[in-house]
Amino acid sequence: MSPAAYPYPPDEFDAAAAAGPRGVHRTPRSWWSRWWPFVLAVVLFPALAYGAVTLVSDGVTLPWQDATDEPTSDQVDESEQPLDETAVETDEPTAEATEEATETPEPPAAVVDLARQVEVFNSTTTSGLASAGRDALEVAGFTAVTSGNWSGDDPEASVVYYPAAADIATAQAVATALGLSAVQESAEQAPEGIVAVLAGDFTP
């Protein structure tokens, strides 16, 4: 549109436009003014991030952290909890067990009854065996010893019979005094006391 065709009267804005273009003559910006935002982002942000990580690792709760992120008492390592001495199991015996062990009665020691009736029989044709056995028992301390000839079945080896378990200690003492080893419980062969039947293996 030409100025002659312009329908409005000129004003102060037309005068400013006629003065020519504005701003093209400004001084160029320095390199620092163009790059400092990038330098700030590269240096400052990593430093802030490092500081935040350091604080978190030291146990400091940052404002944006949830308080529930902290470990609860149930999440604490069990190794940090105090050891309950009452819950520790030991292999040591308790006082009650020790008392029970000491209170257990021991079986009574076997007692040799030197006054028990002992009969010595000779089952061979060799004379003097029964009397020799009787003398050996009297020397050992037995006080009720008799001797005679055996009328039953001849044993293959010398043997000492006893009627009940209570007489086993006395029967063993009789066998030891006679130099014998065979001891047998038999109420049939020894109904009233200890019976020693001497065979050919007996040595006076």
Please tell me the predicted confidence (pLDDT) of residue 110: 75
CATH code at position 176: 3.30.70.2390
Q: Are 174 and 194 in contact (CB under 8 A)?
A: yes
Count CB neighbours of 167 within 10 A: 20
Whole-structure pTM value: 0.49
Q: Is the predicted pLDDT of residue 134 greater than 70, yes or no?
A: yes
The percentage of the chain sitting over the pLDDT mark of 90, rounded to a whole number, equals 43
Is residue 192 domain-shared with residue 123, that is, in the same domain?
A: yes
Domain that holds residue 49: 30-61
Q: Which two tokens stand for residue 44?
A: 């400052």
For residue 157, being part of any structural domain is answered with yes
The 10s digit of each residue's pLDDT in 75-119 is 545 555 555 555 455 556 565 655 555 666 665 667 899 999 999
Please tell me the predicted confidence (pLDDT) of residue 46: 76
For residue 38, being part of any structural domain is answered with yes
Q: Classify burial at 135, counting beta carbons within 10 Å of its beta carbon; exposed 0-12, middle 13-18, buried 19 or more.
A: middle
Is residue 57 domain-shared with residue 124, that is, in the same domain?
A: no
The 10s digit of each residue's pLDDT in 25-50 is 556 666 666 666 776 677 677 777 77
More confident residue, 192 or 30: 192
The Cα–Cα gap between 177 and 120 comes to 12
Q: Which two tokens stand for residue 16?
A: 């400013």
Count CB neighbours of 119 within 10 A: 21
Number of domains, the chain: 2
What are φ and ψ of residue 195, in 5° steps? -125, 125
For residue 76, being part of any structural domain is answered with no
Residue type at 138 in one-letter notation: E
